[in-house]
Structure formats: C-alpha cells, structure tokens
Amino acid sequence: MTITPPDAPVLGAAGFDLSCWPVVRGRSPAGDLAMVEAWIDALTLILDSGQRFAVVMDMPGTITADAATLIEGRKKVILWMKQRREDLAARCGGFVYLPADPAELEDLAAKTAQVAAAFPFPLHVAPDEAAAFERARSLTH
C-alpha cells in the first residue's frame, strides 16, 4: 500500500510541511487567530486523509499576543479537538514539541505534562530536531 500525504494549499498556509510524511512538521499557531483557523483546517484535512500520522510541532520562544487572543485561540483548538477526539485518537500517533530555545526544554516538558491527559494522543518534548523526528516516526506505527 502506498501512503501519500494529503495535498492542499491550506497545509502550506498553516505552516505545515509534509515532506517527511507520515511525520508532519508544523508550528504552533499561538497568538494568531487567523493561523489558528488555518491550523485547524489543515489538521482536519490531514485527519480526513484516513492515514496515521504524527506531528513535530515547533514551539515559539516568546508569544507576544494579548491574553484574550491566546485564550480565544486555545478555545477554538480545544473545541475542535473535542469534536474530532475519536479521529485524533485513531489516526494521530502523537505530537512532539520542539522548543525554539533548548534552554526552554524543562519548562516546556513541565507544561506538557500538566496538559497531556486532556489530549487524545500522546504528547512528547524533544531536545532537538533529530530526536523530535525519531520520536515522531516511532509514533506513526
């Protein structure tokens, strides 16, 4: 069986790179509501492909958006994840977060551990790109 990534302009618009499919690389949409919408649209397309995948997520070092914008963006993502929970559990092997600054690894790991139970797939943190992709590949089986 040939596994091919979904293809649509929305993937690039949301900052997703599928060149290592079934590992998807993306960046956190934190602080940008238009990017949150594009991110949700792109992940919907990936989910609807019916194929198993994992995500390496580049995390921003500093978020400059105001608190209200961050909260609204998180609410949109949480609502979408609730609606697609079963699909996410079946097809998404997990997210591997990659901090912008290696010095932020411990803080990101602690924050990830606090929220992991709310997600229908495993969350991991990696110290560097090679480790992130290795971990993500292991989650696609």
Report the distance separating Cα 141 and Cα 133, nearest Å: 14
Task: Locate 56 and state its tokens.
Answer: 């390496």
For residue 1, pLDDT beyond 60: no
Q: Dihedrals φ, ψ of 24, to 5°? A: -110, 135
Task: Locate 10 and state its tokens.
Answer: 């929305």
Q: Tell me the pTM.
A: 0.89
For residue 15, pLDDT beyond 60: yes
Full set of structural domains in the chain with CATH: 9-138 (3.30.750)
- pLDDT, tens digit (0-9, with 9 covering 90-100), for 21-34: 999 999 888 778 88
- pLDDT, tens digit (0-9, with 9 covering 90-100), for 39-89: 999 899 999 999 999 999 999 866 667 888 889 998 999 999 999 999 999
Highest-confidence segment of 32-41, 68-77, 101-110, 132-141: 132-141
Q: What is the pLDDT of residue 64?
A: 67
Report the distance separating Cα 128 and Cα 2, nearest Å: 29
Report the distance separating Cα 95 and Cα 26, nearest Å: 10
Report the distance separating Cα 65 and Cα 72, nearest Å: 11
Report the distance separating Cα 118 and Cα 137, nearest Å: 22
